[in-house]
C-alpha cells in the first residue's frame, strides 16, 4: 500500500488520487461523491477535493481531500548556476487552515543540475531537471532549468533598464528609437568615476568605463570588475536613460562533485582554463587541478580557486565515494560481492535505504512499484510477491539494490 495518510482525531487527510487502505471491514460512505470505497478492505480512493463522511462500525470519520498543484510560476522555473531560490507547492486543501496536515518532502531527479532542500533550490550545473514535491504518496513535478550565463537584456521600451552579468561577460544594450539612441551616447555613473576610453588603444571603438564595466559607443557592455553600478546615458538629442548593472559574485554558491579516483573538468563561463591559475585549499582531498581538471583523492571537500583576468573564482568541490549503508543487525540488506540484495516479505516496511560517502540528497526509484514501493524518504513498502530494482544515480553512476519480495 501507499504510505499511510495523515490522520488527526477523526479526520483522514488525503490528496487527490491517493489510495488509503485501512485494512479492515465495516467501512461505508455516508456522504459525498468525491471518494470511492472498496467494501471488505476499507480501501478509500480520493477522487475530488472536498470533505466527505465515511462510517466505520458506527463511527463517523471525515475524509478531507486536497488537490495540490504547482502555480504557473513554480511549474517551470529558471535559475542561474550558484543562485538559490524558493519553490512551493500549493496544497489547495478542502478547507483553509488544513495545509498544516500535509507534509511536503522535496527531491531532485538530478542534483548535479539543481539540488533542493526543504523547498530551496540551488543551481548546481547547466541543464534541466525535475524538482519533485512528495505528499500523501503522490509526486508533483516542476521543471527547473539552470543556466551558467546570463542572457543579454532585450530591447528596452522605456527609459529604465536593469540587469545582471557574469564576470567577463559582454552584452549589447538597446532602447526603442523613440526613447533613446545608444550609438554615440555619453555615459556617466552615480559616483562620477566614468572615464572616456576613446583614446585607449585597447578599445578602438571608444566609449567609457569605470571600475565595474566598460561600454562602447555602440552600446556593448563588458563586465571588467565586481559589484554594481548605476549609469546615466545622454544621447545626441539630450534624451536620458538610467541603466543599473550588477555583476554576479564570483563565489556565489558554485559547487561541483567528482567521484573518488575520477577526474572532472570545471567549467567557468568566459574563463580560458589553459590561461587561468588554479589551486586547491586541501590537497589531501583534491591534489590534481591543473587547467581546471580536478581528480578526487579522498572523500571530503576542497575549495578550488581560479584566477583569470583580474577575477578570482571559487568552486566548492566535493569528492564522493557512494555506497549503500548497511547497519549492524540488518538482516534484510546485504552485499554480495559488488552487488546489493534485499529480501522482504509482503507487508514488510524497510526503514530506510541510506547512502554514505555522498554529500548530495539522493532520491530512489523502484522498477516495479507493485512489488515494492520506495518513498521520498527511502522507506520501502513490500506490496506483493515479485522482484524489483531500487536505484539511484549519483555523479552519472547508477547504484542498485535487487529486491525480492516473497509471501
Which H/E stretch holds residue 43? strand 43-46
The single residue listed with the C-alpha cell 515479485 is 386
CB 247 within 8 A of CB 260: no
CB 11 within 8 A of CB 94: no
Alpha-carbon separation of residue 68 from 96, 265, 344 (angstroms): 13, 41, 33
Cell of 66: 486536497
| Calpha distance 196→192 (Å, rounded) | 12
Alpha-carbon separation of residue 228 from 167, 246, 249 (angstroms): 11, 4, 10
271: three-class secondary structure by DSSP: coil
Per-residue pLDDT of the chain in tens (407 residues, 90 and over written 9):
345 567 777 899 999 998 887 766 778 888 878 999 887 777 889 999 999 998 888 889 999 999 999 999 999 999 988 888 999 999 999 999 999 999 898 989 888 899 898 899 999 888 999 999 988 878 899 999 999 888 888 899 999 999 999 999 999 999 999 999 999 999 999 988 888 876 555 555 578 999 999 999 999 999 999 999 999 999 999 999 999 999 988 876 688 899 999 999 998 999 999 999 999 999 999 988 999 999 999 999 999 999 999 999 999 999 999 999 999 999 999 999 989 999 999 989 999 999 999 998 888 989 998 899 898 889 999 988 999 999 998 988 999 999 999 99
- 99 closest CA partner among 108, 107, 90: 90
Q: Which domains does the chain have, with CATH numbers?
A: 6-66 (2.60.40.10), 72-147 (2.60.40.1080), 160-247 (2.60.40), 255-320 (2.60.40.1080), 323-406 (2.60.40.1080)
- 215 closest CA partner among 235, 196, 240: 196
Burial 257-268 (b: 16+ CB within 10 A, else e): bbbbeeebebeb
137: three-class secondary structure by DSSP: coil
Region for 331 from its dihedrals, namely left if φ exceeds 0, alpha if ψ lies in -120 to 50, beta otherwise: alpha
Cis geometry, peptide bond prior to residue 352 (ω within 30 degrees of 0): yes
> What is the chain's alpha carbon radius of gyration, rounded to the nearest angstrom?
28
In the chain, how many H helices and how many E strands? 1, 41
- The sheet that has 114-117: what strands, in order across it? 84-86, 120-123, 114-117
Main-chain phi, psi angles of 389, to 5 degrees: -115, 125
CB 271 within 8 A of CB 306: yes
The single residue listed with the C-alpha cell 566548492 is 316
Amino acid at each position: 500500500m501507499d504510505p499511510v495518510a495523515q490522520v488527526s482525531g477523526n479526520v483522514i487527510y488525503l490528496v487527490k488520487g491517493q489510495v488509503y487502505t485501512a485494512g479492515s471491514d465495516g467501512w461505508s460512505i455516508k456522504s459525498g461523491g468525491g471518494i470511492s470505497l472498496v467494501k471488505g478492505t476499507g480501501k478509500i480512493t480520493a477522487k475530488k477535493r472536498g470533505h466527505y463522511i465515511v462510517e466505520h462500525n458506527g463511527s463517523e470519520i471525515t475524509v478531507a481531500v486536497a488537490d495540490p498543484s504547482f502555480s504557473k510560476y513554480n511549474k517551470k522555473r529558471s535559475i542561474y548556476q550558484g543562485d538559490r531560490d524558493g519553490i512551493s507547492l500549493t496544497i489547495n486543501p478542502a478547507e483553509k487552515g488544513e495545509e498544516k496536515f500535509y507534509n511536503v518532502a522535496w527531491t531532485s531527479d538530478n542534483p548535479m543540475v539543481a539540488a533542493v532542500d526543504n523547498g530551496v533550490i540551488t543551481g548546481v550545473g547547466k541543464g534541466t531537471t525535475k524538482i519533485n514535491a512528495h505528499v500523501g504518496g503522490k509526486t508533483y513535478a516542476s521543471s527547473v532549468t539552470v543556466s551558467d550565463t546570463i542572457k543579454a537584456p532585450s530591447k528596452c521600451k522605456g527609459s529604465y533598464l536593469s540587469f545582471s552579468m557574469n564576470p567577463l561577460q559582454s552584452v549589447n544594450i538597446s532602447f526603442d528609437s523613440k526613447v533613446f539612441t545608444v550609438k554615440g551616447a555619453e555615459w556617466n555613473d552615480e559616483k562620477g568615476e566614468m572615464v572616456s576610453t576613446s583614446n585607449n588603444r585597447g578599445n578602438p571603438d571608444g566609449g567609457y568605463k569605470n571600475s565595474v564595466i566598460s561600454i562602447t559607443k555602440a552600446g556593448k557592455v563588458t563586465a571588467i570588475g565586481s559589484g554594481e553600478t548605476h549609469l546615466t546615458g545622454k544621447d545626441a538629442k539630450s534624451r536620458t536613460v538610467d541603466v543599473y548593472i550588477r555583476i554576479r559574485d564570483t563565489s556565489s554558491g558554485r559547487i561541483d562533485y567528482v567521484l573518488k579516483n575520477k577526474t572532472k573538468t570545471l567549467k567557468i563561463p568566459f574563463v580560458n582554463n589553459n590561461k587561468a591559475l588554479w589551486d586547491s585549499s586541501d590537497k589531501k582531498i583534491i591534489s590534481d587541478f591543473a587547467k581546471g581538471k580536478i581528480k578526487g583523492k579522498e572523500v571530503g571537500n576542497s575549495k578550488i580557486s581560479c584566477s583569470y583576468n583580474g577575477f578570482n573564482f571559487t568552486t566548492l568541490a566535493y569528492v564522493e565515494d557512494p555506497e549503500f549503508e548497511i547497519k549492524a543487525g540488518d538482516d534484510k540488506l546485504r552485499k554480495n560481492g559488488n552487488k546489493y540484495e534485499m529480501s522482504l516479505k509482503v507487508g514488510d516496511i524497510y526503514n530506510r535505504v541510506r547512502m554514505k560517502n555522498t554529500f548530495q540528497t539522493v532520491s530512489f526509484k523502484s522498477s516495479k512499484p507493485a512489488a515494492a514501493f520506495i518513498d521520498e524518504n527511502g522507506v520501502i513498502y513490500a506490496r506483493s510477491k515479485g522482484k524489483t530494482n531500487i536505484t539511484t544515480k549519483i555523479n552519472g553512476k547508477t547504484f542498485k539494490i535487487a529486491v525480492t519480495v516473497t509471501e
